[in-house]
Amino acid sequence: MFPVPSLRRASRVVALGALGAGSWALGVAAPGPSPREPTPPATLARARVAPRCDGARLRLSSVAAQGGSLHDGVIVRVRDVGRRACTVSGYATVRGVNRWNGALLSATPTRTSYLGGWNRRGPLPSVTLRPGSGVASFLVTGVDTAIDNPACPELVWLRVAITPRSSVVTLPVSLNACRFFQVHPFVPGVRGTAG
């Protein structure tokens, strides 16, 4: 004679089986992952960056910076005269012509100095120039320790290249560079300094 399972045990087996079937049914009925959302237009707009400016679409000018404590400086202003926006960032290449002997001096890229420059932490700015009206600027500085001394370079011309591949623009200046002949980064606006 075979043992008959008790009614209590049989009901427990039926309940567990129903629970398993319900879980399986819930798993099948659950919705799958939602399709990927399209990229918002604002993100796409941020991805479109104006190309780097070349020398052909820019006009350069120079004006004396307000000096102090034997520091001398020139502000170089860069204006976009092209038909499309472009960007400038980092440092221009600057060489100065010594009045006394015609020698060329190369300015050292330097973030900031006594007269200004980029006075903020973090990366250097990328300045977008609007066509016809966009302006950026940078400082070129030196220290004057010996006035009218032929041993101390007095620069009468700056030779400026916005990028290593752009043409060189020559600007008339009056800049003493006995020590610390430096070029500072491009910043927005006309003052040559920011931060």
Chain-wide mean pLDDT for the chain? 79
pLDDT of 2 higher than 90: no
Query: Does 35 fall in a domain?
Result: no
Give the span between the Cα atoms of 110 and 141, in whole angstroms: 10
Amino acid identity of residue 151, one-letter, is: A
pLDDT at res. 158: 98
Query: Does 15 fall in a domain?
Result: no
pLDDT at res. 148: 56
What is the residue range of 117's domain?
55-188
Give the span between the Cα atoms of 75 and 37, in whole angstroms: 48
pLDDT at res. 149: 61
CATH of the domain at 80: 2.60.40
Query: Does 44 fall in a domain?
Result: no
pLDDT at res. 69: 74
> Higher pLDDT residue, 151 or 130?
130
Number of structural domains, the chain? Answer: 1
Query: Does 40 fall in a domain?
Result: no
Query: Does 13 fall in a domain?
Result: no
